[in-house]
């Protein structure tokens, strides 16, 4: 199938591609990325958190990536860069390029559209009619592509991904196993005791450089498209409902649930199991703590939390009882303040 193929690069070669200043021997060769604690011969480690700075004295790494403030804390070969963590991610990508062991179209695949010769289509893949695949698209076994789908260059769909009809994916999109893009939104109109299905005639539009984890669902729009902006990163088991618009470079952690017609600005972050009610708007730069419930618009960026703190069961029940009485308590306080004001006026 496919895997990561390891390379060996010199520090000079890495810096030529990624920038940064090489201190020490630029011909030092590295093959793997590792932590300071676990690194050995041939490994390049990184310091992104100052609490691990003391490990620079004991690490067995061949080379280290670090920031300017720690440039002199390690005596061996090193690359100095403003953002060591991001640099480490890029080095790891350089050293572990994706290798696809299949090419062309597998005999068991059903492809009803003309696709570029550079596309790799594995076993049991189904590609519908009028599909446009960009150059070097990779479709792993069991992928299903509906009619009239567009997928941009260098995109990768892992096993058993399903893309419904009419959806559009940008360039360099990565979608992991079991994810469904473009299933029907949850749209039903009440009629007495029955529910009448509302046809979901929109689609899903996904921008460039988006990555979506396993078993996530992005529903198609009822009328307009559901939109995932450029650079978004969506974790496993996330639900994005119909007609949502997710701004560029937004991050949704695992088990996040977003109801219909939510609009999120750019660079938002939702922690794991965050819940966003329908028709809510989040300002660009909003951060939602894990497990929080958002039920109203957020107009100013910042960190928002609605999680009730963990406690023993008995204490939680006691606090919950107090919360239930808050409304009555507020009414009593208002009445007392009114009487006090009346007494002051009489005096």
Active site includes 279? no
Q: Which long-range contacts (CB under 8 A, 24 or more apart) does 228-235 make?
A: 228/204, 229/266, 230/170, 231/207, 232/207, 234/210, 235/272
How far, CA to CA in Å, does 20 sit from each of 11, 23, 159? 10, 10, 37
Give CA–CA dist 63/314, Å, rounded. Answer: 53
Q: How buried is 247 (Cβ within 10 angstroms: 0-12 exposed, 13-18 middle, 19+ buried)?
A: buried
From the candidates 242, 267, 313, 322, give the one annotated as an active-site residue.
242
Rounded to whole angstroms, the Cα distance separating 181 from 161 reads 8
Burial class (CB in 10 A: 0-12, 13-18, 19+), 197: exposed
* Contacting residues for 181 by C-beta, under 8 A, at least 6 apart: 161, 162, 163, 164, 167, 169, 175, 204, 206, 212, 217, 218
* Main-chain phi, psi angles of 54, to 5 degrees: -65, -25
> Which residues are catalytic, by number?
242
């Amino acid at each position: 199938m496919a895997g990561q193929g390891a390379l060996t690069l010199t520090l000079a070669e890495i810096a030529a591609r990624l920038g940064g200043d090489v201190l020490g021997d630029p011909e030092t060769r590295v093959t793997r990325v590792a932590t300071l604690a676990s690194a050995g011969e041939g490994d390049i480690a990184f310091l992104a958190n100052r609490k691990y700075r003391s490990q620079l004295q004991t690490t067995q790494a061949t080379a280290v990536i670090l920031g300017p403030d720690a440039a002199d804390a390690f005596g061996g070969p090193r690359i100095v860069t403003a953002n060591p963590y991001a640099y480490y991610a890029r080095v790891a990508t350089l050293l572990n390029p994706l290798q696809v062991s299949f090419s062309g179209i597998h005999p068991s695949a059903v492809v009803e559209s003309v696709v570029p010769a550079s596309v790799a289509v594995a076993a049991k893949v189904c590609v519908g009619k009028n599909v446009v695949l960009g150059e070097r698209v990779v479709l792993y076994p069991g992928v299903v592509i509906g009619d009239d789908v567009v997928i941009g260059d260098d995109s990768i769909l892992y096993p058993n991904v399903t893309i419904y009809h009419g959806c559009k994916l940008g360039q360099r999109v990565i979608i992991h196993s079991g994810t469904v893009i473009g299933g029907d939104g949850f749209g039903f109109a009440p009629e007495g005791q029955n529910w009448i299905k509302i046809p979901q005639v929109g689609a899903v539009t996904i921008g460039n450089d988006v990555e979506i984890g396993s078993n996530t669902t992005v529903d198609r729009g009822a009328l307009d498209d559901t939109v995932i902006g450029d650079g978004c990163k969506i974790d496993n088991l996330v639900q994005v409902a119909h007609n949502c618009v997710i701004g560029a470079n937004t991050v949704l952690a695992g088990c996040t649930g977003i109801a219909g017609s939510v609009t999120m600005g750019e660079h938002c972050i939702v922690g794991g199991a965050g819940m966003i009610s329908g028709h809510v708007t989040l300002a660009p730069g909003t951060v939602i703590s894990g497990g929080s419930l958002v039920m109203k618009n957020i107009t100013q960026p910042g960190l928002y939390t609605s999680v009730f703190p963990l406690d023993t069961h008995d204490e939680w029940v006691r606090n919950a009882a107090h919360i239930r009485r808050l409304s009555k308590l507020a009414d009593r306080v208002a009445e007392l303040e009114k009487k006090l004001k009346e007494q002051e006026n009489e005096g």
